[in-house]
Amino acid sequence: MKEGLTRTNRRKGRRSGDREVSGRRTTASERNKNAAARKRRSYGGESRNPCHRISAEKRERIAKLMLDIPHMRLDYKKGRWEKKMNEKAKEDK
């Protein structure tokens, strides 16, 4: 006897994991897709998993930070240059 087949399902040519819906068999992957779509609809389009929301917020913050990095770097270099000039001025006095 093949693995996953019961006597009744063997006669009908179905595996034990298959379900019959409206006259046709659905596979486990189709059921998973349908379940995921139901979850999305029930939560107003958002995913049930809060990790997706958190990671989206992180991506947004990182994008803003990447835009600010050149300015931050220039400010850092300017501060170092001013500090160096102040030290030189003190030495010259």
CA atoms within 13 A on the CB side of 87: 6
Residue 26 to residue 20: CA distance in whole angstroms: 6
Token duo for residue 78? 């300017």
Q: Residue 9 class from Cβ within 10 Å (0-12 exposed, 13-18 middle, 19+ buried)?
A: middle
Of 78, 74, 82, nearest to 90 by C-alpha is: 82
Chain segment 21-30, per-residue pLDDT in tens: 555 666 777 7
Put simply, whether the predicted model's pTM sits higher than 0.75 gets the answer: no
Chain segment 50-87, per-residue pLDDT in tens: 788 888 899 999 999 999 999 999 999 999 999 999 99
Residue whose tokens read 């809060």: 50
Domain ranges of the chain: 1-48, 59-93
DSSP 3-state assignment of 78?
Answer: helix
Q: Residue 30 class from Cβ within 10 Å (0-12 exposed, 13-18 middle, 19+ buried)?
A: middle
Residue whose tokens read 């046709």: 24
